[in-house]
Amino acid sequence: MDQVATLQLESVDLQSSRNNREHHTQEMGVKRLTVRRGQLFYLRLSFSRPFQSQSDHITFVAETGPKPSELLGTRATFFLTRVRPGNVWSASDFTIDSNSLHVSLFTPANAVIGHYILKIEISQGQGHSVTYPLGTFILLFNPWSPEDDVYLPSEILLQEYVMQDYGFVYKGHERFITSWPWNYGQFEEDIIDICFEILNKSLHYLKNPAKDCSQRNDVVYVCRVVSAMINSNDDNGVLQGNWSEDYSEGVSPLEWNGSVAILRQWSARGGQPVKYGQCWVFASVMCTVMRCLGVPTRVVSNFRSAHNVDRNLTIDTYYDRNAEMLSTQKRDKIWNFHVWNECWMIRKDLPPGYNGWQVLDPTPQQTSSGLFCCGPASVKAIREGDVHLVYDTPFVYAEVNADEVIWLLRDGQAQEILAHNTSSIGKEISTKMVGSHQHQSITSSYKYPEGSPEERAVFRKASRKMLGPQRASSPFLDLLESRGLRDEPAQLQLHLARIPEWGQDLQLLLRIRRVPDITHPQGPIGLVVRFCAQALLHGGGTRKPLWRHTVRVNLDFGKETQWPLLLPYSNYRSKLTDEKLIRVSGIAEVEETGRSMLVLKDISLEPPHLSIEVSERAEVGKALRVHVTLTNTLMVALSSCTMVLEGSGLVNGQITKDLGTLVAGHTLQIQLDLYPTKAGPRQLQVLISSNEVKEIKGYKDIFVTATGAP
């Protein structure tokens, strides 16, 4: 009998185009094989002769990370079989076509994610084996697979939280929520490599690379590593935080349009932290990384967010008798808004019932297991006050549930509680509505209705766990409860007389209504109302007063009076932060008793608006004319204007233009051509910044047709 010729591999077709399309990774390109775990992908192997299943033995080998090991789950060997054997590495369902072998490969739904090398070993009978490289592939989490811990059973939600490469961050103030367009760009060609570069620069990897890679099958572990690596407090993370308002050594957090430029700069400079980020930048970059890795992720804004370092569930703020909000050495603050992420996953490390959305917060606020990271904390656990569950649930619970105690300070001592607010923290918790540009309130996912019996019961439950039974029932807390029902002789409210625009005088209206109280059930009272306006910092602090005013009022029982107030533009012109927020505070002192009442109004100033128009039809590779128009509606010129355009599939990287000075009342018109590179729904983001206003943003949704489409 003739000896059969040795089987030799001559060529490999990884079928990247077909596989990437079926694995929802074609947006990353089709030059490389990029697949998701728990799902078949297909290869064609061409040999020197027809494959003979009886005598030819093929063993597949897949390896990832340094020192691949079957024990650690970073190396898999598996044989060619007729039938797929279950949730394990396998090569099956093969067909023979002349000298070609078509084979289906399967990766288990709990496989380690990462860059893999794929090889085959060929042997005949008991003879020696020869190893051939087949190529490389990238393996990602698979939210389409019911066996994967990140499985999300809704195609609409998968399109929103995995495939959508642009979105909105919600900023500002609970009553003036502004949409901030952001280019996530998770499918730009090099972003997937940068995501794994981030994992490979973590302290966990540097300490024990093989062990770190072996844990990348666990989405909880990967999320915590990414949360720590987006900030640079412990490591060469992606972004350096800066809340000082001095951004001269880098880029102001307000001047970023998207994540791609940040991630590319970090990678190009060898992992040097990019300057600078604040919460919405940290969270948006983490959203890019997690969506790229295959984890359903969204960006969430919490308005009036507590930073409760001492975990006592109360945040103290202080005013003097002239209504000035005072700075304090305490680290406890109430941020105007704070932005974090939610990632969707099964929590096998928790008791049943805590799957679904989990909070992850890459902004460096406090350490968790020795590193500046936060989460994943189950949103369900936060709502139910189950603050004993990992990770960092007490901190997130306080961010949305802490009480605010406002004190009047006299001679450096806290003399009087002006207010105890049980519902002023954790307002309008918002994320982008699915399939819409509107924001959606998800506050009810985090807590029961404010003041409801369920909400107070959960608060007491969390207090006992966080404070201990003694402190949770202290006389001080009892005092706070009683102060919530303070008896006041008058009701004070501040209203805006017209929409506040930056560059215009601000008109307010004080309304005072005399109501019965224990001390003065009837009769007139005299009030001295002292007002103070201060620039409000994003982190909850204020600048020095920029305006003061005093009003004296005599008020008869049952009567109401209105008092107009004017805050001139000249007072705040050079005094505001880039956020353009003003807090107007008023303290009314009752002349007959000396008791005080507080009235507050936060004002968010509207910047000028820009408009973006495009020619009717956008097509891949063809010039698309874009018109950007900005009218300076302010009373002053905008100097050193620059424009940055960004948008995945529309712009390669960024386009930057210097625009010079825009005189008050004048209009700027810019025309330029873009050459779209990807079909489908796209978003163009435009940022114009100047010395006077940092954040004039606009966006335009553009549907791009494929080349030659009818």
- Which residues are catalytically annotated? 279, 338, 361
Radius of gyration of the chain (CA): 30
Q: Determine if residue 245 is labeled as part of a ligand binding site.
A: no
Q: Determine if residue 27 is labeled as part of a ligand binding site.
A: no
Q: How far apart are CA 299 and CA 306, in angstroms?
A: 18
Residue 696 in contact with residue 628, Cβ under 8 Å? no
State the DSSP H helix or E strand holding residue 668, giving kind and residue range, or none if neither. Answer: strand 667-674
Burial class (CB in 10 A: 0-12, 13-18, 19+), 587: buried
Q: How far apart are CA 97 and CA 51, in angstroms?
A: 9
Q: What angle do CA 159, 165, 168 make, to 5 degrees?
A: 100
**Tokens 């003036």 found at:** 176
Q: How far apart are CA 305 and CA 710, in angstroms?
A: 50
User: Across the beta sheet with 490-496, what order do the strands follow?
Assistant: 490-496, 506-514, 560-567
Helix (H, G, I), strand (E, B) or coil at 198: helix
Residue 697 in contact with residue 181, Cβ under 8 Å? yes
Name beta bridge partners: 382: none
Q: How far apart are CA 251 and CA 31, in angstroms?
A: 34
Tokens of 103: 């084979």
Closest CA to 622 of 667, 583, 675: 675
Residue 45 in contact with residue 101, Cβ under 8 Å? yes
For the residues of 561-626, what is the DSSP string, one character each? EEEEEEE-HHHHTTT--TT-EEEEEEEEEETTT--EEEEEEEEEPBPP-EEEEE-S-EETTS-EEE
Q: Determine if residue 403 is labeled as part of a ligand binding site.
A: yes
- Amino acid type, 270: G
Tokens of 572: 């705040």
Q: How far apart are CA 302 and CA 371, in angstroms?
A: 23
Residue 224 in contact with residue 248, Cβ under 8 Å? no
Q: How far apart are CA 433 and CA 295, in angstroms?
A: 18
Tokens of 627: 């018109």
CA dihedral 388, 394, 396, 397 (to 10 degrees): 90
User: Across the beta sheet with 525-536, what order do the strands follow?
Assistant: 542-555, 525-536, 581-590, 596-604
For the residues of 119-146, what is the DSSP string, one character each? EEEEEETTSPPEEEEEEEEEEE--TT-T
Q: How far apart are CA 257 and CA 648, in angstroms?
A: 11
Binding residues for Ca(2+), as ranges, are: 401, 403, 450, 455
